[in-house]
Amino acid sequence: MPQPKRGRPRAFDRDRALLDAARLFWRRGYSGTSTRDLTALLGLSTSSLYGTFGSKAGLFEEAVRTYAERYREIYQQALATTDFRAAVERVLVDSVHEFTRPDDEHPGCLLSSAAMADSTGTLDTSAYFAELQHSNERALKARVERAVQEGELPADTDAEALTGLIQSLWHGLSARANLGTDRESLLATARLAHELICGRRGPAA
């Protein structure tokens, strides 16, 4: 009697596995997530999990870097814009879109997740995210200083204070998104903030 043909096994989706694992890490932290939890969630054997990601720590670190580095990319792309007004708008607006991405595309806010209080032997999550934020702030301050030098901003502009204001707005938008504020409300706030910051800071006379 002929044996029934088996269907083709479903292809492994690494990106989906990374997103699902990140969601679990974000909720429980690194220590609170067991290898058994991960294999059950991802439908992988322990050997397959290790073969794909190296270890539980390797999976955690890849998840943190994948989703946290997106914030660096937003700043890099925004600050490469030649017009300072547009650069500030892109930092705020693009960040809002990142904060409010659909659940099936993003694990949630790392800043408020359990993973921030946890770490592996090679990645201190809080220190890593803090350095990422400092890097973004340094890049933003350099862009403000350049805008002053090129006459886009008045010569008496306090670059450090203006940078601090924009960064404070960024953190506020992130916090409100985490509390459930919808995208349109956050975008309205971001655009008003942009207008208040840049609308009254025209080129130097």
What pLDDT, in 10s, does the model give residues 68-91? 999 999 999 999 999 999 999 999
Structure tokens, 131: 């350095």
Output the CA–CA distances (angstroms, integers) from residue 37 to 10, 20, 42, 51, 56, in the order listed: 21, 11, 9, 17, 11
Instruction: Please check the confidence at residue 10 and state whether its pLDDT lies above 60.
Output: no
pLDDT band at 153 (very low <50, low <70, confident <90, very high): very high
pLDDT band at 205 (very low <50, low <70, confident <90, very high): very low
Q: Mean pLDDT over residues 10-16, rounded?
A: 80
The crossing angle, in degrees rounded to 10, of helices 159-178 and 125-149 is 140
**Where do the structural domains in the chain lie, given as residue ranges?**
69-198
Taken in order 157, 159, 165, 166, the sign of the CA dihedral is: positive
CB 111 within 8 A of CB 176: no
Nearest CA among 94, 82, 84 for reference residue 198: 84
Distance CA 68, CA 70 (A): 5
pLDDT band at 200 (very low <50, low <70, confident <90, very high): low
Q: Mean pLDDT over residues 151-169, rounded?
A: 96
pLDDT recorded at residue 204: 41
The position carrying tokens 């997103």 is 19
pLDDT recorded at residue 11: 67
Nearest CA among 12, 116, 117 for reference residue 64: 116
What whole-number percentage of the chain has pLDDT above 70? 92
Picking from 109-123, 137-151, 175-189, which range would have the lowest pLDDT averaged per residue? 109-123
pTM above 0.75, yes or no: yes
Instruction: Please check the confidence at residue 43 and state whether its pLDDT lies above 60.
Output: yes
Is CATH 1.10.357.10 the right assignment for the domain spanning 69-198? yes
- The 10s digit of each residue's pLDDT in 86-132 is 999 999 999 999 999 998 888 988 888 999 988 898 899 999 999 99
